[in-house]
Amino acid sequence: MEERRFALSSNGDNSGLYRLDGKVAVITGGASGIGQAISLAFAEQGASIHILELDKNNAEQTASTIRKQGGTAEWHLCDVSNQQQVKDVFCQIGGRSPVHILVNNAGVAHIGKLETTSDEDFERVFRINVKGVYNCMYAAVDYMKTSGGGVILNLGSIAATAGLADRFAYSMSKGAVLTMTYSVARDYVAHNIRCNCISPARVHTPFVDGFVRKNYPGNENDMLQKLAKLQPIGRMAKPEEVASLALFLCSDAASFITGTNYPIDGGFLNLHG
């Protein structure tokens, strides 16, 4: 029988298993919420970070934080729904270094059922959540092929596979993200490009706090409690927890994983009811 061995570092532990030394990571929406947590986690593990953002202040603050902690980070003003802007940014990055990792995190939310989703609402969600992911993958894949491979990680949602009330356009967009993930994983597996998807349930981010303040003034705490209880585990996820899963999937520890969707949902999909 073949002897089984675990891949351990030279000092006998797994502390280096998720290192990203020498890797260049492009993270869209990487300066707030989940994206910021991913940027910080990847930088801590040695990756050079390129943040694609529309929020200049958050982008500069996040990049500055990484640099102060000894990491390498740049930010690029970019509307992911604009293909030419995306191409220009990737040309700038890829002209200087390989592109090893792409994390498609940028996205927008929308609340409404079919009848309350206007044409403008639908187009905006599609343009950013679907076309934005397409644009970035389209721009990145040639650079990954040229450098011998890479990893694409798309941020989806449990809305892609669960029927959530009043999330018509958002669910549509995340369903598209999931199926694009499967397609890209299949088409580029021979090029050593892995593509996976993370599908969170509710994550406690500044966006959630802002949404609650705007829509439930004076009742913020009760609403946050209600959102927390939607997950059987009894709370919302932390951005850092999603970042930990993202780090695993983009590291060499996950080198045998592609074309897979990972719910991170506190039991929402399988323990509800």
Q: Is 170 among the residues known to form the active site?
A: yes
Q: Helix, strand, or coil here: 221?
A: helix
d(CA 240, CA 238): 5
Task: Find, among 113, 99, 199, the residue nearest to 156 by Cα.
Answer: 199
Q: Helix, strand, or coil here: 153?
A: strand
Place of tokens 């990756």: 47
CB 140 within 8 A of CB 132: no
d(CA 185, CA 166): 30
Q: List the catalytic residue out of 18, 134, 143, 170.
A: 170
Sign, Cα dihedral of 157, 158, 163, 165? negative
Q: Which helix (H) or strand (E) holds 48?
A: strand 48-53
d(CA 129, CA 73): 24
**Type of residue found at 144:** M
Q: Helix, strand, or coil here: 256?
A: coil
**Quick one: tokens of 37?**
């947590």
**Type of residue found at 112:** G
**Quick one: tokens of 213?**
């303040």
CA distances from 154 to 28, 198, 254 (A): 10, 6, 15
Other CB atoms closer than 10 Å to residue 73's CB: what's the count? 27
Which sequence positions are flagged as catalytic? 170
